[in-house]
Chain A
Amino acid sequence: MSTAAAALSTTTIKRTTGHTFTIYLKEAKYEFLKNLRLRVYTASVISFPLMFYVLFGLVLNSREMIGTTSVPTYLIATYGTFGVMGASLFGTASGLAADRGLGWLQVKRASPMPPFAYFIAKVILSMIFSAIVVTLLLILGFTFGRVRMPLAEIARLMATLVAGSLPFSALGLAIGYFAGPQSAPGVINLIYLPMSFCSGLWVPYMFLPKVVRQIALALPPYHLSQLALAVVGAGNHDPAATHWEVLLAFTLICLGVARIGFQRDQGKLYG
């Protein structure tokens, strides 16, 4: 075809569903590989929850009981929540803030990439790393903490925690749209660490001061940890639906904020 004819052609090129699926798959695959090779990410996201678990759940209190649940079992649920939070916040926010601030997102946006592929890839990455952290905690608990639970319970715990990655991925996207490339990790830690403490992820909820316990009720990690604890028989007897509703509402609020950031970004560029 001559250039002239090619330039005038108006035939629409429609992607097949299969092609679109391939793009999403590749985007997720390379997002995973990219972060897997990123020492900062894997080290902080995986090793912190594991180190805490080994210290407080296996070395120090492994024979203690909290109610009818052994400490090593109890802490899999809470450090699992802690790990999911870290994997999700760092998996979304720091990459997005850097890509936005330093031009890479523009290269992606100028290409024919479906815009959602970029975000979905980050969410999938967060879920995969959440699953990895929970799996490693379970392996440690089973091997060194005499943790025993039936397969169905393991599956439920895993499903709960991996689903719990979504609210924090949403929060991460919101942070990623409002933090600068350099400040993002700091902002994440400023939210992540106090929230973890106040939600009873480090010190079990009932041992927290009363004020903190009241604050916890407003924090999403508290609700996710209660759902995880309920799976291992150490929940607070509130109906699971309440916890899920809080997490859902939190997710929607964060997505709303992220959307404002997304539009503001276009606005700044589109303005």
Chain B
Amino acid sequence: MIAIPQEAGTPHGNKDTASANAMNLAPVVASLECVSKNYGEVHALRNVNFSVRAGQVVALLGPNGAGKTTAVKLLLGLMQPTSGKARVFGGDPVNPQNRIRAGAMLQVGRVPETLRVREHIDLFSSYYPKPLLLAEVLAAAGLEKLADRKFGELSGGQRQRTLFALAICGDPDLLFLDEPTVGLDVEARRMLWEEIRRLVDRGKTVLLTTHYLQEADALADRIAVINQGAIIAEGTPTEIKAQTSGKRIRCITALSMASLRQIPGVTAAREDREAVEIHAAEAEPVIRKLLSLDSTLSGLEVTSAGLEEAFLALTQDNGQNASRLKEN
């Protein structure tokens, strides 16, 4: 997968870090540089900086309307940013040379219903110079038994799998998956996850959007959380999960970083200009301890951890989906 021999890395080092470092050295294959995108008065994206490195799975995580699909469409060259640049393989996404190395699964309202699954795949495969064999594509998407079915005769999940098949049939280096598992049942979702992992094992790069933290966590090397058109957090799944709850405490204190980190309940602490920023699951016990340890402590501020609001939106969104499903 990656050219850097991580197995031969530092004997005491932890493998995750070695792998993360290797990831950071891989070339950027897709990026948004200071991208803003307005639809009239609506700011779909605001000054977004974002990149995907070769061999990574990156998840754009956010509620509906956060700007995920806009980001994907900009990277596919389906629209142009209002300002900033979208780049794929170092060039313009519109360039046919770049399109030939990318595959995309988009949310689509209507697919020609009278064509069979195998016919759809045959047509899309013909666009690429070195497509996979039909049998490989069918197997990867779990469509072996449905090859002769017309698209209009498929269930929602089977339709999603067909769109996935069209995205991978050209054996692209870079894969864009916009909400790939929406409408899939648990089993089909796991199958798709497996398939995405297999693609990455073969050296492919994947950018996926999702509004399930669980999905981003299961698949991604890196997660970018997007809300209201801005990226509000970026990191490994572990880092992101740590930020999803708790409080942020800011204060000016004489205590050392090391001693701050030893306070029970503190999950992280860092210096921020003249102050320190402490992350904790619960604020009150930590503050009590802080005040007792440092009588000179000043400038105390307690705020919710940054992601809480975004994840509240995510939760609500999932709730709405669930109730919509019940109505149907």
Interface residues in B113-146 by Cβ distance below 8 A to A read 114-115, 119, 122-124, 126-129
Q: Are the C-beta atoms of A111 and B110 separated by less than 8 Å?
A: no
| B interface SS class | loop
Partner of A103, one of B54, B79, B101, B106: B106
**Closest partner residue, chain A, to B130 (CB atom):** A13
Q: Which of A32-40, A72-80, A190-198, A228-236 contacts B (4 or more CB under 8 A)?
A: A32-40
Give the chain B neighbours of A107 by CB distance below 8 A: 104, 106, 108, 111, 163, 166
- A23 with B78: in contact, given A2-B203, A12-B97 (CB under 8 Å)? no
A266 to chain B minimum Cβ distance, whole angstroms, is: 8
B20 to chain A minimum Cβ distance, whole angstroms, is: 16
Give the chain B neighbours of A7 by CB distance below 8 A: 26-27, 29, 54, 89, 173, 205
The 8 A CB mask of A4-44 against B (1 = contact, 0 = none) is: 11111010110100010011001100100111011000000
B304 to chain A minimum Cβ distance, whole angstroms, is: 36
**Closest partner residue, chain A, to B103 (CB atom):** A111
Q: CB of A271 within 8 A of chain B?
A: yes
Partner of B78, one of A2, A30, A104, A269: A269
Q: Are the C-beta atoms of A103 and B104 separated by less than 8 Å?
A: no
C-alpha spacing A2/B76, complex, angstroms: 24
| A contacts with B, residue count (CB < 8 A) | 40
Give the chain A neighbours of B119 by CB distance below 8 A: 30, 33
- A3 with B54: in contact, given A22-B126, A102-B110 (CB under 8 Å)? yes
How many residue pairs, one in A and one in B, have C-beta atoms under 8 Å apart?
A: 120
Q: CB of A106 within 8 A of chain B?
A: yes
Q: Are the C-beta atoms of B80 and A102 separated by less than 8 Å?
A: no
Q: Are the C-beta atoms of B106 and A106 separated by less than 8 Å?
A: yes
Give the chain B neighbours of A38 by CB distance below 8 A: 114
Q: CB of A98 within 8 A of chain B?
A: yes
Q: Are the C-beta atoms of B80 and A113 separated by less than 8 Å?
A: no
Q: Are the C-beta atoms of A112 and B173 separated by less than 8 Å?
A: no
Q: Are the C-beta atoms of B203 and A15 separated by less than 8 Å?
A: no
- A271 with B80: in contact, given A3-B1, A107-B108 (CB under 8 Å)? yes
Q: CB of A146 within 8 A of chain B?
A: no
Q: Are the C-beta atoms of B115 and A33 separated by less than 8 Å?
A: yes
C-alpha spacing A37/B116, complex, angstroms: 11
- A26 with B123: in contact, given A2-B203, A7-B27 (CB under 8 Å)? yes
**Closest partner residue, chain B, to A270 (CB atom):** B80
Q: CB of B180 within 8 A of chain A?
A: no
Give the chain A neighbours of B100 by CB distance below 8 A: 13, 112
The 8 A CB mask of A86-109 against B (1 = contact, 0 = none) is: 000000000000110111101101
Interchain Cβ contacts under 8 Å between A and B, 15 examples: A3-B3, A3-B55, A4-B27, A6-B54, A23-B127, A30-B115, A34-B114, A98-B110, A104-B111, A106-B73, A106-B78, A110-B76, A111-B99, A181-B110, A270-B80
The 3 closest A-B pairs by CB, nearest first: A102-B109, A102-B110, A37-B114
